[in-house]
Structures are given as C-alpha cells and as structure tokens.
Amino acid sequence: MRSKLLILLLLVANTLYAADIIPQPRSVVEGNGDYLLGAKATLVCDKELADAADYLLSYLPLRKVSSKRGDVRLVLDDKLQSEEYQLRIDTRGVEVRGGGYGGVFNGVQTLLQLMPSEVYAKSLKLPVKVGHIVVSDAPRYAYRGFLLDVARTYMPLHEVKRAIDYMAFLKLNKLHFHLVDNTGWRIEIKSHPELAKVGGWRGGDSPIHPVYGSFFEKYGGYYTQDELREVVKYAAQRNVEVIPEIDVPGHSKGLGAVRPDILCGYVPDTTITNGIDTRNVWCASKESNYRLIEDIVKEVAEIFPSEYIHIGGDEVNFNWWRQCPDCQRLCKEKGITVGPQLEEYMLMRVADILARYNRKPMVWNEAIRGGKMPKSTTVCGWLGWRGCLDAMNGGYPTVVMPARIFYLDKRQGPNETGHTSQYGITLKTICDFSYEKAGFTPEQQKHIIGVEGALWGEIILSNIDPKGRFSDYLEYMIFPRLFGVSEVAWCQNRRSYEEMYATIKRSFYEKLNVMGATYRLNPPVVEVKDGKLTAKVDDGSKIYYTDIRTTERRAYTEPLDASLASWVAFHSYAGTGRSGIAAAPEYWQYRTPKMTATSSMPFSEERPLKVCEEYKQAAYTARCARKGDWVEFRFDEPLDCQYIEVITGFYQVFRRLIYNGHIEISYDGKNFENAGLLHNGKIELRPTRTIYALRIVADGITDAEEYTVIRPLKIK
C-alpha cells in the first residue's frame, strides 16, 4: 500500500509540473494519458517547414517521412498569426501548428521543453512517453531581442552560434549584433579590407591601443562575409533575425586609428594621453566620409537580409566637433548648432543612404533628440525610462531596454563581477519590471514594439575560463536573467519572481546542466549568530568557503567559529551552476590606518589623491600614467596586517589602470623591495613583516585614457 501511495504521489507531482514552460504560455490544458513515441516514431511536415523539421530532428531521433501521417506533425495554419502556435499531444500523436515558420518553431521549442532533459544533450533515446497536453500561445511583442557585443571582445563563430541557440531556447527572435566599436571592427568590408584586417586587432603592432585585459598581446579577430552569411542562415533556421550594428558617428576610435582620414581635420592635444589620438567621432563635414559609409552600408545590406541596420548614434563626444573648423563652417551654412543638431544632420544623411539599399535605421535614443529622424526609425531606449519615453512620445517604434533593468553585463550582486550597478540587476529585477510602475501610459505603450536584453563585451575577455571558453562567462551573466527577459518580451501576463524562480529550480537548472551551460546560483545566505558563522542555500547546491589569508578552499559541512567572519567567503556549486561569493558583513570591513599619499603624477581637483588617504573613494590623475610614475602610501605608524589589496582602474572594467607595473614595499621606511607585478591593475598582498610604506610603480605606458584611477588600499 505504501509503495502504491508513493507511486501515486510521484505521478501527481509529474502531472502538476509537466507544463513548466518558459516563457509562460497563454493557455495550457493538461490531459490524462500519454503518447508513446516509439523507437520507429516518424516526423512529417509541410514542405515550407523543412528547416524546422531538421532542427527538431537534431534533438529527437525521429524518422522523417513524406506521408501525411506521422507521430509528430509540423503544420502551417493560416488561421493563426505568424508566430502564434498550438501544440497538441493526444492519442493521435504530437502536432505543432503555426501561422508561419516562426510559429511552428516556437511550438517546437515548447515541445522540447516538455521532453526529458536529456533531449538537450541530443542523446535522448526512444521510446519515450509525452503527456497529453494542449498549449495555445502567441507572443506579446514581435521584437524579442538580445544584444551581443563582439566588438569589444571578439568571439569565435561557434560561440556566436551558441548564443543564438540560447535565444531560440527562450523564443527570442532578434539578434542585435554589435559589430563595431572603439576597440574593434569585426566585419569584413571587401572594398575597404583594412577596416577588418587591421581594425579587427588591438595591441602589438596594431594602431589600436590595447584595453579591457588584452594588454600584453595582440588580440582580436573578425568575421568574413561568408562566415556572417553562415550566422544569418544558422539564425534563420532558429527563427532569429540578425540585425547588424555599425556605430556612427561616435564609438569610432578604432576606426579612426586605422583610417585617420575619417576624423576632423585638426591636430588634437594629446599631452594627457601619452601622445595617442583618442578622438572617436567621424567628422560630420567630410563628403568622403559619407562615401565611405555608403560603401560599408552596401556590403552590410548584401550580407544581412534584415530590413534594419542599427547605426548607433549614442554617446557622441561633441567636443571633438566643437574644435573642428570644418564642422563649425557646416553648422553655420545649415543654420544648426554643434551637438545634437549636427549629429541629427549626419544620421539623417546615413538614413538616406540606408534607404537607397531598402533598409531602415535603428538608433539609440540619443539620436532622436531633434525629432527629425524618419518615423520609420526604430529607437532602442537604453538611457533609463526617459530614453524610452522620449522615443514613445516622439512617435517612434520603441524597443524597451533601459540599462538599469535589461543590461545583463551589469553585476548580479554587490560583490560580483560585472559592470557596476547601484543595486545589482538580478532575475528579480527583471521579473518585477512593470510599465505601469515606470509611468508608461497606455497611449505611450502603443509605440512599444518589443524588449531587448543586452550583454556588452568589455568584461568578457578578462573572464574567459582557463579552457578558453567564452561562453562560460556569457552564460553566467545571462542565466537565469535571460529567462526573465524572455518572459517580459513574450507574455501579457507574467509569473512573479517567486513563481519564476521556483520554475527554474524545478525544471530548468537540470536543462542547463544537460546543455553544459554555466549559470548563476543565488549566493549562500550567511549569518553570524551565537558565536557561529553559518551559510545556507535553498537550491541543494554544495557550499564551499575560502579563507582570504591563504586562498585555501574547503567544503562547508558544519557551522564555523564566528572569529572567521572577517576572513571567510562562501560560494556554492551544483551541476554547471555556481554562485557569486557571499560573506558576513565583517568580511567587507577593512582597516583604515592613517597614512600620507604622494605621487609623481598630478591629480584632478575633483578627485585629489587625498581621498585615498581618507579611504573614501577613488582618486583620478590629471593625465595618463607614464613609465616611472609612482604613487606612494606611507603609514603614520608601522603597519602589521595579514592582507592588502592594491587596485588601480575601475573595479569591474579593465580601463584607466596601470596594467604594466609593480608594487614595492618598504619594511624599514627607507628601502623598497619589489613585491610583485600588477595583474589587470591589481594585486593581493599577504605580508609577513611590518610595513612602513607601499608604492605603485608604472613600468611602461598604460592604456590611452585621459586619466588613471587610483583606489584606496583594502587592508585587513
């Protein structure tokens, strides 16, 4: 009797959660019974759906047949909208009906989610039972996007395809492919081969200066036109449209290094950047620039069939134009001002070029500040709610992607890797997103065509795993947050965060494990109480702890003594998932011994070196660091400590740092000894003797920025 009861409970549990589908469908009706896909199960499809059938066959070992009857049927239905689908599993078998290719493909993804997880390893063996069910579904928005930045960190072709696979898994259908930026040109232009052959690399003998962790070797790559056509074809089979971004007029420092002729015709002051020209804006007055842009657009349009080409328009430094006599003359002739109006003039000319090749422009929200861009222009609203509202109020088709919600390169917790965000962007941040809370009126929302998550590439290069797998860090940053993006983009009525998290834990961690995809677990909850230091998780993961003094890692099996709270950080692992670190508040508290800071470099008035003496915030130099430059911290009293962290540059992004340098320590107040090389501008020291002073020394040119960041010491 007890055995029968246990079986009954298991059946009830399996039935209850059989429809764990992300994004959440509009309608799910579960039936009684199963359909057996036998060892010789067959697949039939309408001829227009051959690619979708081949995709399904790569996961399910079915036999494709040409008859009208099969165990699995893929069918077009003109009564449904293009991406609408109905999945029906009953006594007659499995049928996926869709209004178009995209609808059928969406239904295929739902079918795969209902299969045993082994299907994602492409190792599922038949026979297998699938429960009776009817899923009726359609997306809220036609635009469900993911931005992948390969300009800052070049990714091999197979890694780009892997990202597309993840999009398909979650029914995202627009790959915003960021191919060009300050530090890399990733697209072959046959009429101007130097753009990619030279501009695809930085460091070494490249005219583009190294940055973002690629400091001591030449780094980069680019995609040939044939490779990009391969990406387009691969994506199309997965119902993903590839929208290329060629950023103008800003974000063009790399291009300017390869083709100085695109820059304004004056000699800039480079005394604070070690003689390196850091201008990153196309000159708006040169007719030759518009001819070059047309050459580029012509070839881009031949590669990418999307009706859109994203032309950027964000973060333009107008100061470069203000110093240009030719731009000043142009503004006078046109009766416009240097700034947004001149940018709009240039972008409208680029839009005219796009129109000659039957393409429409996409832009960032800064580009429409003058309101004269064609209303066919799609606007990506990234600068908070205001960026979205400006676009919607201007009547532009708007893609909602405010950075504070949808930028997946931002860190997920206060002490994790990623771009700095005030609170961290988590799955909960995205699930809690609401147009009403954002203040969007129903009238304004009529202009929303979709939602996009973005993963910018500044930090990826420095987080590639030891095996050289780019996607390890990419996956950690997108999972589980991409589940939330998918649901916001797809669903009219969404799950709460609590419901989403429960669904992911219950059904999707295992799917990610089988895929071999890295994902982020919630960090352990750490507490100091009654003389004990404890850590716990709610996902069954195994907890470990690391002592900062020794870097030794051990399995956590029982509470620790509270005296370790200042030294120990916890993290957990399960399958291919891992958590960020967590620790007691004592771990994040540092000593602040009195000191005097001096330097060979001048510092800014707003961020003088004195702020480091006060352990308040980072100090900014007034120029780039040069070989032989130094910063010295001399303690008022001899210092005995167990740990010092020295940091130059930003915390998460390897910019404005001293990457070619070392640390010297004085143990007598007079003489200094080399204590180690900086790595990405940082070093951790574990002194065994009393320290009188510490010095950061630059051993060569640092990255070409207007200033270098010096952070307060972290002392324990």
Amino acid of residue 420: T
Which contacts (CB < 8 Å, 24+ apart) does range 101-107 have?
101/48, 101/49, 101/51, 101/52, 101/239, 102/173, 102/239, 103/138, 104/49, 104/52, 104/74, 104/75, 104/76, 105/52, 105/55, 105/168, 105/238, 105/239, 106/137, 106/139, 106/171, 106/239, 107/135, 107/137
Q: What is the pLDDT of residue 130?
A: 96
Q: What is the mean pLDDT of residues 505-529?
A: 97
Query: 3-state DSSP: the chain helix, strand, coil percent, rounded to 5?
Result: 30, 25, 45
One domain for residues 158 and 221: yes
DSSP letter string, 83-110: T-EEEEEETTEEEEEESSHHHHHHHHHH
- Residues 385-431: tens digit of each pLDDT: 999 999 999 999 999 999 999 999 999 988 888 898 766 899 999 99
Report the share of the chain in percent with pLDDT over 70: 96
Q: At 327, which CATH number?
A: 3.20.20.80
For 102-148, the pLDDT digits (tens) are 999 999 999 999 999 999 999 999 999 999 999 999 999 999 999 99
4 located within any domain = no
- Please tell me whether residues 463 and 369 are part of one structural domain: yes
The answer to whether 148 and 175 have CB atoms below 8 angstroms apart is yes
Q: How confident is the model at residue 645 (pLDDT cuts 50, 70, 90)?
A: very high
Same domain as 113, residue 222: no
Query: Is residue 515 assigned to a domain?
Result: no
> Is residue 623 located within the same domain as residue 579?
no
At residue 3, the pLDDT reads 43
Q: The domain containing residue 62 runs over which residues? A: 16-137
Q: Is residue 270 part of a domain?
A: yes
Residue with tokens 């507490």: 527
Distances (CA, A) of 682 to 209, 462, 538, 620: 20, 13, 34, 16
Q: Note whether 535 and 636 are same-domain residues.
A: no
| pLDDT at residue 553 is higher than 90 | yes
Cis peptide leading into residue 480 (ω within 30°): yes
Residues 6 or more apart whose Cβ sits within 8 Å of residue 315:
250, 251, 364, 366
pLDDT in tens, 310-343: 999 999 999 999 999 999 999 999 999 999 999 9
User: Do 344 and 367 contact (CB within 8 A), yes or no?
Assistant: yes
Say what the pLDDT of residue 12 is.
37
Task: State the Cα torsion 458-656-319-310 to the nearest 10°.
Answer: 0
Examine the fold and report which residue of 588, 608, 635 is the final residue of a domain before the chain moves on: 588
Same domain, 329 and 238: yes
Q: How far apart are CA 509 and CA 21, in angstroms?
A: 13
Confidence (pLDDT) at 254: 96
2 within domain boundaries? no
Six-digit token string for 297: 């657009």
Domain membership flag for residue 620: yes
Asked whether the CA dihedral 202, 682, 454, 350 is positive or negative, the reply is: negative
Based on the domain organization, do 126 and 228 belong to the same domain? no
Residue 59 lies in a domain: yes
Residue range 456-505, pLDDT digits in tens: 999 998 888 767 677 789 999 999 999 999 999 999 999 999 999 999 99
Final residue belonging to a domain, choices 94, 122, 137: 137
| Total of domains in the chain | 4
678 in a domain, yes or no? yes
> DSSP code of 683?
E
**What pLDDT was estimated at residue 423?**
65
Q: What is the pLDDT of residue 101?
A: 98
Residue 348: pLDDT over 90: yes
pLDDT digits (tens, 9 = 90+) for 569-618: 999 999 999 999 999 999 999 999 999 999 999 999 999 999 999 998 99
Confidence bin at 709 (pLDDT 50/70/90): very high
Query: Do 191 and 272 belong together in one domain?
Result: yes
- Indicate the residue among 540, 565, 588 that finishes a domain: 588
**Is residue 668 situated within a structural domain?**
yes
Q: What is the CATH number of the domain that holds 528?
A: 2.60.40.10
697 close to 664: Cβ distance less than 8 angstroms = yes
- Among the listed residues 635, 628, 629, 661, the one whose alpha carbon sits nearest the alpha carbon of residue 646: 661
Q: Where are the alpha helices (DSSP H) in 127-156?
A: none
Regarding whether 240 and 150 lie in a shared domain, the answer is yes
232 and 150 within one domain: yes
The predicted-structure confidence for 427-441, as pLDDT tens digits, reads as follows 999 999 999 989 999
Quick one: pLDDT at residue 15? Answer: 38
pLDDT band at 705 (very low <50, low <70, confident <90, very high): confident
| pLDDT (0 to 100) of residue 16 | 39
Residue 13 has pLDDT above 70, yes or no: no
